[in-house]
Structure 1
Amino acid sequence: MVLEKALVLSLSFMLLIVGTNSINFIIRNNCPYTIWPATLTGSGPALPSTGFELAHGASYTLAAQPSWSGRIWARSQCTMDGARFVCRSADCGSGQVACNGAGAIPPATLVEFTLNGNGNMDFFDVSLVDGFNLPVRVAPQGCGSTACPVDVNSVCPPELSVRDARGGVIGCKSACLAFNQPQYCCTGAYSTPQTCPPTNYSKFFKAQCPQAYSYAYDDRSSTFTCRSGSTDYVVTFCP
């Protein structure tokens, strides 16, 4: 009996330590409509949810372990199509509200994190490498923020535009997605920073959102850091 009590106390202490060391992602919806945020784990323990509904003005908190890396994005214009859950914008193709390990189907505005444990540096960014669907801001509590706060869809070139059934633009493709050519995708002979400079299309995205990744090698002005374990991260869609 004494041994059992000791094991319970030890387990409770371990859970307390894990809870203390976790990092919170606070997801907020400032869009004037419902969205469905989603997550994809690259490494580390998976987040508690891979997809959920978030009404206008609502927020949802996800606890991550300090070793987590992955992506957060948001889907919109989602409905049930028979037994399947589908979204016109940034769907993950799982057929459910939960993405269950599936990533965003571009175009999608991505928020990317690499958490590196207490005492090290976290890395985070907003990426338009897979195109744009919704504005977003990442605001660590106590560190510098990054964002793509404007509606890129409203000025998207026609050749990059993705439209809904009513003709409204609901996504802006990257040039890589639209044309599948190596100079836009930084592949083949263009697979290094020296051979894959910015194009007119990546410059368009950069002009709209200077802090966001506009193409694969846009590191210098687009990667942000914060001391790991020192902050929670507020991710606001339509800031």
Structure 2
Amino acid sequence: MAYVARADESEKPLTIENQCAETIYPGIVTQSGQEPEIGGFKLDSGDSRSLTVGADWQGRVWGRTNCSFNAQGTGPGNNGGNNGGGRACGTGDCGGIVNCRATGETPVSLAEFTLASPSGQTFYDISLVDGYNIPIAIVSLYPQSGNSSLQQIPPNLTNPICIGTSSLLGAKGSTEGSHSGTNDSFPIPLEESVSTSDVASWCPWDLQLSAPTKPGDGIYPYPDDKIQRPIFDPCFSACAKYNKPSDCCTGHYDNPNVCKASIYSKNAKKVCPDAYSFAFDDQTSTFIIPSGGGFQVTFCPQGRSSNIISVYKKQLLQLTETGHVSSSSLSDLEGVSVVRTNGAAKRGFLDEMTFLICTVGTMAALGFLIW
């Protein structure tokens, strides 16, 4: 039996889960549509919170770390905030308040959603375009509980994972603790080439949020494994740090044929194959499913990053074109063993989907990728 999804126009669930060892403060910003009841809140380790958004919602979710707020949540808990700059959080701060009304400060890992597009489809992605602070995963809640009009789409087509923190990287083949919705029948294909050392050192020296002290001559050698990196090592994207047109794909570089991946983008793509790494990374980073379901965003999943788009090219193309996966394609998804890749093979593989993305405009034209 093929899996078929049909649109539903009611409110959609948006669940936020914290699998980090520490308390975080998720932030949520709405670009358009019916927003959730709150834009930010405290979430202790192991806890989750269920919200709802409109079927027309377009927005982003991120995690804020090392936060301290006053009792009212209207400012930082300490005088002057972090480093005297008015920030309440170490990463992802949104003006020093709990209930965010603006996007978090870079560097920050993002989950981005457009639930209703002109094509009648839902677009979503994990984005490292603004940098990286903590691991993140997206689980498609398709179908919604109790909604018989929606039939399930296999989770190994819909649930991307990005783990760029070495302490949370699992053994090869491991999704234990990822909370990614994977199962024995439909296992999510994982990135299997990177080592713990690779993940610990993927961020270029000059883009680290808290870079180690420079050597005596004031110049970073790259790479240099003799210099110890911080355990918690958020990473600016080249665009977020330097704001150059060549890194941000603006001005003369506002063209996919001109703007190319930086060292940061290439490293990010190796560690997290299914994540956006720069502005024109649409074809290897965008998930497109029929409108109608909700989502769960998990912070600090454990295991390995997913490699869905590269492995299941045919099935994703069929899902995008028709809204379902045929019986023959479905059989190809069942019980597939973990696929190993070398990090380079996935880039530029989805040429067949170019026309599908263009039918609704680029992600930037939708206001979906860069706000």
Shorter-chain TM-score: which interval? 0.7 to 0.9
Following superposition of structure 1 onto structure 2, how do residues 10-25 of structure 1 map, counting pairs within 5 Å?
21-25=10-14
1:235 matches 2:297: yes
CA-CA distance at 1:114 after TM superposition: 0.3
Map of 2:159 onto structure 1: 145
CA RMSD in angstroms, aligned pairs only: 2.4
AA paired with 1:148?
C
What percentage of residue pairs aligned between the two structures are identical?
Answer: 39
What is the alpha-carbon distance in structure 1 between the residues aligned to residue 284 and residue 50 of structure 2?
Answer: 28
Paired residue type of 2:78: D
For 2:256 and 2:288, locate their aligned partners in 1 and report how far apart those are by CA, in whole Å. 22
| Residue pair 1:160, 1:174 contacting (<8 A) in 2 also | yes
Alignment-derived partner of residue 89 in structure 2: 87
* 1:77 counterpart letter in structure 2: N
Question: What does 1:1-239 correspond to in 2, within 5 Å?
Answer: 21-79=10-68, 80-82=77-79, 86-93=88-95, 95-99=96-100, 101-116=101-116, 120-141=120-141, 142-143=152-153, 144-151=158-165, 154-155=200-201, 156-163=203-210, 169-229=232-292, 231-239=293-301
- Whole-Å Cα distance in 2 between the matches of residues 180 and 150 of structure 1? 23
CA contact (8 A) 1:37 1:54 kept: yes
AA aligned to 1:228 is S
* Deviation, structure 1 residue 169: 4.0
Q: Tell me the distance in 2 between the aligned counterparts of 1:164 and 1:236.
A: 27
Cα distance in 2 for partners of 1:187, 1:116 equals 27
SS in 1 for 2:274: coil
Take 1:170 and 1:54, find their aligned partners in 2: how far apart are those partners? 21
Structure 1 unaligned blocks of 5 or more:
1-19
Query: Match for residue 5 of structure 1?
Result: none
- Summarize the Cα distance change of 1:26–1:164 in structure 2 as closer, same or farther, 3 Å threshold: farther
Deviation at 1:201, TM superposition (A): 2.0
CA-to-aligned-CA distance 1:79-119 (integer Å, 9 cap, x gap): 112496700111111x22111x21110000010000118x9
> Contact conserved, 1:162 with 1:169, CA < 8 A, in 2?
no
Q: Deviations over 1:168-213 (max 9, x none)?
A: 5441000112222221111121111111022222111111100000
Q: Residues 164 and 181 of structure 1: is their aligned pair in 2 closer, same or farther, counting only changes over 3 Å? A: closer
Return the alpha-carbon distance in structure 2 between the equivalents of residues 83 and 104 of structure 1: 18
CA contact (8 A) 2:205 2:211 kept: no
- Counterpart of 2:122, as a letter, is D
CA–CA separation in structure 2 for the residues paired with 1:173 and 1:236: 21
- Write the distance in 2 (CA, Å) between the matches of 1:44 and 1:120: 15
SS at match of 1:215: coil
The one-letter code matched in structure 2 to 1:137 is A
Amino acid at match of 2:267: F
Where does structure 2 lack aligned partners over 5 or more consecutive residues?
A: 1-8, 69-76, 82-86, 142-151, 167-198, 213-228, 302-371
TM-score by length of 2: 0.55
Letter of the 2:210 counterpart: R
CA shift in 2, pair 1:164/1:78, >3 Å: farther
Gap change, CA 1:114 and 1:135, over 3 Å in 2: same
When residues 140 and 157 of structure 1 are mapped into structure 2, their CA distance, relative to the original with a 3 A threshold, is same
Q: 1:177 to 1:51 in 2, by over 3 A?
A: same
Give the whole-Å Cα distance in 1 for the aligned partners of 2:261 and 2:230.
Answer: 30
Q: TM-score normalized by structure 1?
A: 0.84
Instruction: Give the residue type in structure 2 aligned to 1:157.
Output: P
The structure in which a higher percent of residues are strand is 1
Aligned to 1:9: none
Distance 1:181 1:74 in 2: 26
CA apart distance, 1:235: 0.8
User: Quick one: distance in 2 between partners of 1:189 and 1:201?
Assistant: 20
- 1:220 match: secondary structure: helix
2:52 partner letter: A
Q: Does the Cα contact within 8 Å between 1:66 and 1:115 map onto a contact in 2?
A: yes
Which region of structure 1 is more displaced relative to structure 2, 150-159 or 161-170?
Answer: 161-170
Counting matched residue pairs gives: 217
In 2, Cα distance between equivalents of 1:81 and 1:173: 25
